Amino acid sequence: MKDRIKKQLLGYLHTPPLWRGELLGLKQFDPGKPARELPDPKAAIPSLSTNFVLGKRMESFFELLIQHSDRYKLLASNIQISREKITLGEMDFLLKDTHTNQKLHLELVYKFYVYDPSFSSEEARWIGPNRRDSFLQKMDKLKQKQFPLLYQPETREFLKSLELNPEELIQQTYFKAKLFLPKKIKREEINILNPECIAGFWLSFREFDNAEYKDFQFHAPSKQDWPIDPKFGSDWVSFSAIKDQIHASFEKKKSPLIWMKRSETEFERFFVVWWERENSY
């Protein structure tokens, strides 16, 4: 794929915030308008050629864009807080809003969630595609672990070096996500989170393995490419070939993200989930 890292940056940039304003006691960060001309991430961050972890890539993109922001100044990033050589946690970013002079502690989150209607509330229904995490678990971690870290004595010592007082800092999260609904659920049923985040659907292997899909082309991107728009996809394969790739992912208990090419101008993305495997074929 040509300009792959730049397309990853565009995917990050075009992913909307999961809510606006405040939700469940957490305030969403407002990044302001992006720079008119995007920096070249490959040239600016050479480590992206070898760093394959999606979360760290998104942090690198955020930091790069902040460095080109006309509103925010980066004070510190990826701050390790330790006590007697034991890591207590990490703070993602400290920023200064040059428009208001307000200082911020910001935690960046970038997630992919599927909607499981079996849970009782809308907030609880958003889970990771492998069922190993959830929206509510992440929100709880932010409130119970990551934000309280600001007030630890070890953090105060670090902040002194920047002439910052923790009581003066506003704590916010920049929580971006792509959401995937079951095919039978309409986006109008999503009331709490930002419907602009809905990026596709999810289904079981049994639902995928039918004539509806057999004539299209497919690609299973690596995780670091998940933010990319499917229209930039390459190396498309047949229905039969993608089924083999899905089975290989299922053996590792992973739900692959699939890009589907309906025509030269029409693309879709969806998860095929492994946890309905027993009922799927």
pLDDT of residue 280: 40
Tell me the pLDDT tens digit for each residue of 103-117: 999 999 999 999 999
Tell me the pLDDT tens digit for each residue of 38-48: 888 989 998 88
d(CA 219, CA 239) in angstroms, rounded, equals 10
- Is 70 exceeded by the pLDDT of residue 275? yes
Name the token pair of 72. Answer: 């925010």
pLDDT of residue 278: 47
Q: How far is CA 130 from the centre of its chain?
A: 15
Average pLDDT estimate for 251-263: 97
pLDDT of residue 1: 79
- DSSP of 204-260: -HHHHSSTTTTTSEEE---GGGTTS-GGG--S-B-HHHHHHHHHHHHHTT---EEEE
Radius of gyration of the chain from its Cα atoms, rounded to whole angstroms:
20
pTM of structure: 0.94
Average pLDDT estimate for 180-206: 90
Handedness of CA 100, 104, 110, 116 (dihedral sign): negative
